[in-house]
Structure formats: C-alpha cells, structure tokens
Structure 1
Amino acid sequence: MRVRSLNANVCIFLFLSTVYRCRGSLGDKSWVYNECLSSCLSLSQCDSDAPRRPNEWTLSLMRWTCDDDCRYDCMHQVTADNIRYGRPVVQFYGKWPFVRVLGAQEIASAVFSAANGLAALVCLRDYRRRVSRRYKLYWLWHVNSAVSVHAWFWSTVFHCRDWPLSEHMDYFCATSLTVVQMFCQQVRIWGGRSPFRSWKMIALGLFDGLVFAGHVSYMSFVSFDYGYNLAFNISLGVMMAATWMIWCYQNYQERPYVWKCCLFLVLLSAAMALEINDFPPWWGLFDAHSLWHLATVPLTFLWYSFLVDDGVYECRDKFS
C-alpha cells in the first residue's frame, strides 16, 4: 500500500529491516534483564492475572498485569543503564523501550493511527458532499472507507496494548484494507459501465475474497509468520501501484487530476524510508514506525482528493 523499480527496492529493504527486527531482541536475552525480572517477580509475589499497582487505574484499564509491569520496569532499568554507560539502546521482545502514557504502550503510534481513521472519516464526508450518489463507484468507496476506519481502529488498539487478539486483528484488518483497495481498483479500471452486473467483476470479487480468507486461515491455523504476512501485503501493494501508474500514464492527457494519484504513490514510497531506517524512540515516544503513521495522515487527504476529482469527472456529462 509504490512506483516502478523504486517500489521493488523499497519493499526489499522494508522486508529485510523487518526480518532484522523480528529475528530476536538483545534486551530480553540479556543476563542483567533476566536477573532483574526474576527478582521483581519474586519480590512482588506476582499473580500473573492481577495488577501490580492496583491504585493506578490507567494500568488496570489497559490490563497491565504484575508480570507485564515487572517486564516494563526491568526494561527501563536496563535501558537507563545502557544510556548511562554509553551502550546502545536495544529492543525487548521485538519492541523498543517505549515510555507508556496513560497505560498505552506506544502512545504516538496509537494517536497517529487514530488520526488516520479520523482523516478517512473527514475525507469521506467531503466525498459525499461533492460526488453524485449516482456515480457507479459511490458506495464502493464508502465500503473502502469503512474498512479503512476499522483497520485504523485496531491499529490504535494494538499500539495501546499488544495482546494476541489486538495483534491478530491489526494484521488481518490491515490486510483486509489492502484486499478491498485492490478490488476497488479492479472495479474502477476494468468494471465498465455496470461493474456490479458484470460476471468478470463478480468473479474477481470472489477471487479476492478467497485470497484474503486463505491468507487469514494460514496465519491463524498454520503459522503466524511475520515475514510471509509482509511479503503477501507487499506483493499486492506493488501490483496495485504498478497498475495505477499504468492507468495514470494512459489517462494523464485526458484527466488533469491524474497527477494527484502519481504524487500519492511517490510520496507513499518515500514515506517508507521511515520504516526502513528504524531507530530507538525519541524521548521514549516517537520511533520510525510512529512517524510513518503520522506521514500517512496528509496522504489520506491527497488520495481522497484524487477520488473526488475522479468521481466528479466521471459524472460531468452523465448527470449534469
């Protein structure tokens, strides 16, 4: 969710950087951390289902158990020692040592994820105001917006607290958005005048649904494989970007707004540099991934601006 050869290079580097992050974490494997954790669990006499600090309502609300709290405290003790003695900041359990705020693990990514969902709603409101309801794709882009808001909701939940459920929903909802966007593209480019009466479009929709169902089934029942999930989504993203670029090339003379689609794809690829160049969070809050989520907020407005112009252009003669 990428342009010509640049897209391939970006995706390769993103894949390698993600594999590196998931390969293992030095922090939780260190002797100092594990000694601290063992001592904390023993002194706190942890019941894993009970909070360690019951008086802090935000921790109870976010379901920080005694075990979780010990891991958090020891993570930051080790991190403080690393900084004090000039050692690099390392990850723990595949994540940077973020400072929790109001019980949220990654408050910046959570806030920026919510901002993306809000941006989709604001843009949909503008779309509804400016594009005719008789436009053949009017309701399909509503479906796309609904799936987008749903995906960003689970991204917000996941960044607030990393539970198995929130992790699975974040991954699956992100993939659902990719698949729905792919179907929207197929209908827009190849759907003809009556796309929802076309057997070709119905078959494509069923195929896309089966692809998504197969992906979720594999991740759920065979292997929750981060590398496979990334490769799957990147493959769909590259195909969509290439298809949009071809469509833009074929239509740029007739449709003066096509530059918005091209600019969106280029800027989205450029924003991926934030994911590639991962770094420890500034002030314990802002890492590369959170800034990636921040960067996609204005891109949402650019994309919907293209959709509005496209809808208005398609309706200019038919419903004027």
Structure 2
Amino acid sequence: MTLHSTTQRRRGRVTAVSDSSPISDEASLTSTSNQKRKPRRRSSPRSRSSSPRLSSITLLLMALLATLLLAPTASASEGDRSPEYRLCVNSCTADVCRDNVDDGTMFAHRLPFILRLTRWTCEDDCKYHCTHRITNDAAERVHKIQHDARLEVEQLAQAQPISASIKAERIRGIIETQMSALRPVQKQMVQFHGKWVFIRFLGAQEPLSVLFSLLNFKVHWNALFMMRKQLPDVFPLKLVYIVHTLISMNAWLWSAVFHTRDKNWTEKLDYFSAGSVIMSAFFFSAARLFRIAPGTERFVLFRRACMGALGLHVLYLSIGRFDYAYNMAANVVVGLIHTLLWLAYSLRPTTFPSNPLVDRTAYSRAAMRAAKPSLSALSTPTPLSNGAATPPVPVSTNIGPPSTHAKQRRRLQLILGLMSASVLLELLDFPPILRILDAHALWHLATVPITKMWYDWLVNDAQECVSTGWWLSDRSVSVQGGELASTLEQLSEKLKGRAASLAQNIELNALTSKLNELANKAGLSGRVGGVNGSAGASGVNGASGLGLEMEQQQTSTGGAATSTSIGLGSMSLTDRDAGASGGSGSTGKAKNW
C-alpha cells in the first residue's frame, strides 16, 4: 500500500516524565535534532460493502482529515524556547565549539568517528545532550517533589495518626500544589525543535524509525520481483505498477535517511518523495478503476496532469519558507481521494466503467490473439517454478468487474480498515517509551504487513482482470514496441503489391473471357489455358503475358481438325513442335505465340 500522508509533528505536546526515565549526561546517549515529522505512506485499498460499515469508515476518514488539517503547526516547541535549554546550548557551544574556557555548566567531548560520519556537528551534539539534560532534570525534579511530599505527610502522621486515604489525599494535594508552580519544561518531557527526545544509536537520531523504514523498503523490494513474475504480461498496467513500486522504494529510502539525520535537505527529500508516492498511488488507482489504458490519449493527458501537479507542488515548497500546513493538506486530500476511490469500488463496483455486453466478443478475440503468438504471454510464473511459466491463464467470455466477489471485497475492506486504524497512531502521539519507541515508529511498523497485503491483493486483482478478459492488452502487438512501425510498413508494401497484381489479373481475366467468347462464336473450341496460361497464375510456360496456341491434329482416319486455344498468363512467345504417331502414322504440329 502506498499512500503515505505527510503530517508534521510540531505540536508542542507535553507529557509528564515517569520516575524511571532519567538518563545520565555522561552516558553515550543518542539523539534527535530538528525534525518535523510526517506520516508516511498510506496504502489505500478498497473498502466495505455494507452500509453500516460504509458510514463508520467514511466518518473515520473524515475525522482523520479534519484532525490532520486542523492540527496546529509551530516553528518552535516548548523545549527549545525554554531559558534552561538555551543556557545549556550556549554554554556547551562556548566551551567546546569555540575553544573558550569551561564555565562549569555544560561540557561535551570531541565527537567520535561514527557521529562525524553521520554528519553530526559540535552544535548538533550540544543540542542533543542538552535535550537529555533538561529532560533528566525535569524527571529528577518531579521525583524529588513526590519524595518530599510523602516524607512530609509521614512526619505529620506520626504526630497525629490519620487514615491511609487521607494520607494519600494530602500527598496528592502537596504534589499538585508544587507542580502547578512549575513550567512544563521543568516537570514534563517536552518536544525540542518539533520532536521528542530520543536516544541515538550509531548516529541515527530515531533508530527504530530508521529500522522500520528499511523494513518497508524491503517489502516494496520483494513486491517489485513478485510483480515482475506474477503480473500477467498482457495486463495493461503492469509497467505502471512496477514504476509505482520503484517510487515507493525511493520514498522509504529517504525516510530512513531523514530519521537518521534531520537536516533541511533530507527533510525536503523525504517530504517530496512522500508526495510522489501519494500521487503515484492516486494515478495507478484511477487508471485501474476507470480503465485508462497506457498508450491512449486519456492516459497521456492524465499522466501529464499528475506530473504537472506534483511538479508545481515541489516547486512551491522549494521557494521560500517550507509551508508545512500546505504540504500536509495537499497530501492528505490526494490520499483521501485515493482511499475513497477504492472504498467506492469495494461497495459498488458498477459505479466504475466496465466492459459493456457488446464488447465481450471483441475482448474475447483480443484474448485469443494475445494467446496465439506465445502461450507465455498469458503465463503466470510462480515462486516455486524458478521463473518458469505456468500454464496460460484461462480466458473466459464472461466479462464482469474483477475482484467483486465476497472474499476479495472483504479482503480489501480489511486492508482499508487496518490502514485507517494505523493512522490513529500518528494522531494519538505520545512520548517515546524508554526514549526509543514512539507512536510514529509504531506507525511505520504497522505499515509493513499492511503493505504486503495490499500488493498481494493488487496481483490477484490483475490476474483476475486478465483471466476473465475484463481488461487486457494484445501482447502480439504491444510487446513489439519499436518493431511495430517497421512491421506495419512491410505489411503495407506487401498489400500494395498484392493490390496492383490483383487489379492487373482482373483486367486480364476480363480480356480472356472476351477472347474465348469470340473464339466460340467463330466455331472454334475456346478454353482458358490452365497449362499454357491462366489469369493471375503461372503455368508451365510462365507467368504473365498473352499466348495464342494454334494446334492442328491429324486424326487416325486421316481427317484434319484444327483447334485454337487462347490463353493468358503464359510467359513468352515460344514455338513448340509436337508429333504424335497414331495407328495410321498421322502427324500433328502446334504453334505457340
């Protein structure tokens, strides 16, 4: 599945730090730096067939759209605006990055090789350590307030015994009073530069998000080879599906790079790649549902429109300040349209164009023509066959919309439901567990099995399109590609030659008939020469030309008879003497002109 909507995480949301989350400064912690996070890759399948399911899924999609579009964005977060964080970063950069004297506030050691390899700078490392320092201080402060409140109430209880419930209520009251006097950054884990505090690993700011992005890349990699082998060659959109898989692989690769190091250029490449996946998914879905075949005028115009829209989108975001709100809205709208198209197809396939009854014969003939040149054209190799082709896909004359039986539609609805539910992980954002696993990483993990399900469904749908004859291309013509023009030219020349020869033969046949008619009227036996000449055919004497054969025969009784044969089609004027001796020794002569 390939939709992946781009949503920023610059919300400034905060959550209380648990007692178990402090991490020491000197530990080789790992990080996150400036990053606006977006949901990636929303695979949009088809949907449900009952009206209650329709209403629930539609409401869910609309709620997701409204939440994403109305989500506030900010260029700064609670953490990086705090004076504590700024003081820490200024102290670190002054002590380490500018070779000044240590002021005792913050000190960072020289960067190890792995950090330099992943393009960490001294300032980046200072920011990373300061985010953990501020978060650790907040956790320790909360822990100290809770400890002091318990100790104070215990001392009061020793002087005047109280019940456990009253004791717990007093402890809670003391904690709430002291916590209310603190700013969020002093008592909670907050976001810095639009992202949570993560432990870096081998220079990667969000190691689990990187890992899950690479897992998604692997799913698309496997799907690429699966589609090359299992998609029938006569399925019109085979190349379109393969190109979409390559676009998705590119997007997940840049997602892994972006989660490794959040830089301005990695962020833009990640966003632009995500947008290309969404547009590509919309393109191939519309082409499949509306039967827009490659090579047609509609296909070319639709492709240019989608590419132009994507180009303008990238151009607008590349000029001036990056518009996060617009980027999110544009991707969500296109992704939602893609999802709703499949939802509508799942609920009512007849909404979309299908083969009319009058086209059934034509498409069945096209299927037969496609199978004539090579049975492998309709073959569907399986993984167990090591690339060898299986028997051809059977072609039926019963042409109806594919993937409309109950099992396929339920499968499609399941995929859509899972994908919609996975988006909730992006909306219900929470601080990373143990500073390594957050909602965004879980969302990337959830898309791994859903994407595989989506590709399996697409392959089955394509095979059904071909096996039923609902939509296929004539491989005997389309696969030739560059040879098509030369083949047509050769056929044209042959047809011209045949037409000229046929016209000449028609004229000669008319002349032959006329001459034979005249010979019969003259009392001669006329025949159209078969051996000596025939119209349009070469006999013993050759091909084209006019031959008059005068044959004299002597009968056995000594009587003489003359027969004239007029023939067309003999090659040239030749003389032929033939003698035949009968019982009386008679002779005969024949002349050919």
- Under a length normalisation based on structure 2, what TM-score does the superposition of the two structures give? 0.51
Letter in 2 for 1:189: L
Q: Deviations over 1:137-175 (max 9, x none)?
A: 111110000000000000000000001110000000000
Structure 1 residue 124, shift from structure 2 partner: 2.6
Change (3 A) 1:136 1:255: farther
The 5 A counterparts of 1:97-136 are 97-136=197-236
The one of 20, 24, 27 aligned to 2:79: 27
The 5 A counterparts of 1:50-61 are 56-61=112-117
The 5 A counterparts of 1:166-315 are 166-192=266-292, 195-251=293-349, 253-254=404-405, 256-315=407-466
Change (3 A) 1:253 1:182: closer
Structure 1 residue 33, shift from structure 2 partner: 1.0
> Is 1:36 aligned to residue 88 of structure 2?
yes
The answer on whether the counterparts of 1:108 and 1:285 sit within 8 Å (CA) in structure 2 is yes
> Is 1:8 aligned to residue 159 of structure 2?
no
Counterparts of 1:138 and 1:152, CA distance in 2:
22
Q: Deviations over 1:114-147 (max 9, x none)?
A: 1111111112322333221221111111000000
Letter in 1 for 2:431: P
Counterparts of 2:124 and 2:404, CA distance in 1:
58
Counterparts of 1:26 and 1:254, CA distance in 2:
53
The one of 162, 165, 188 aligned to 2:262: 162
Letter in 2 for 1:64: W
Change (3 A) 1:191 1:165: same
Change (3 A) 1:124 1:63: same
Letter in 2 for 1:5: L
The residue aligned with 1:73 is 129
Percent identity among equivalent residues?
34
The answer on whether the counterparts of 2:198 and 2:206 sit within 8 Å (CA) in structure 1 is yes
Letter in 2 for 1:138: K
Structure 1 residue 253, shift from structure 2 partner: 4.2
Structure 1 residue 23, shift from structure 2 partner: 5.4
Q: Deviations over 1:27-47 (max 9, x none)?
A: 111111111111111111348
Counterparts of 1:98 and 1:73, CA distance in 2:
11
- Higher helix content, 1 or 2: 1
Change (3 A) 1:153 1:175: same
Counterparts of 2:300 and 2:109, CA distance in 1:
55
Secondary structure of the residue that 1:272 maps to in structure 2? Answer: helix
- Under a length normalisation based on structure 1, what TM-score does the superposition of the two structures give? 0.92
Change (3 A) 1:25 1:174: same
- Structure 2, gaps ≥5 residues long: 4-43, 45-56, 100-107, 143-186, 350-402, 473-593
The answer on whether the counterparts of 1:54 and 1:60 sit within 8 Å (CA) in structure 2 is no
Secondary structure of the residue that 1:28 maps to in structure 2? Answer: coil
Secondary structure of the residue that 2:66 maps to in structure 1? Answer: helix
Counterparts of 1:126 and 1:89, CA distance in 2:
45
Counterparts of 2:406 and 2:233, CA distance in 1:
21
- Higher strand content, 1 or 2: 2
Counterparts of 2:216 and 2:234, CA distance in 1:
28
Give the structure, 1 or 2, with the largest relative contact order (CA under 8 Å, sep 6 or more).
Answer: 1
Secondary structure of the residue that 1:133 maps to in structure 2? Answer: coil
Counterparts of 2:296 and 2:344, CA distance in 1:
23
Letter in 2 for 1:305: D
Report how many residues are paired.
Answer: 311
Q: Deviations over 1:268-317 (max 9, x none)?
A: 11111101111111111111111111111111111001111101111214
Change (3 A) 1:236 1:209: same
Counterparts of 1:198 and 1:130, CA distance in 2:
25
The answer on whether the counterparts of 2:89 and 2:130 sit within 8 Å (CA) in structure 1 is yes
- Whichever of the two has the greater Rg, that structure is 2
The answer on whether the counterparts of 1:100 and 1:106 sit within 8 Å (CA) in structure 2 is yes
Secondary structure of the residue that 1:257 maps to in structure 2? Answer: helix
Change (3 A) 1:254 1:165: same
Further displaced range: 147-156 or 32-41: 32-41
Change (3 A) 1:136 1:230: same
The answer on whether the counterparts of 1:258 and 1:306 sit within 8 Å (CA) in structure 2 is no
The answer on whether the counterparts of 1:46 and 1:67 sit within 8 Å (CA) in structure 2 is no
Counterparts of 1:283 and 1:121, CA distance in 2:
31
Q: CA RMSD in A?
A: 1.8
Letter in 1 for 2:287: V
The answer on whether the counterparts of 2:224 and 2:246 sit within 8 Å (CA) in structure 1 is no
Counterparts of 1:306 and 1:289, CA distance in 2:
26
Further displaced range: 133-142 or 252-261: 252-261
Counterparts of 1:244 and 1:147, CA distance in 2:
20
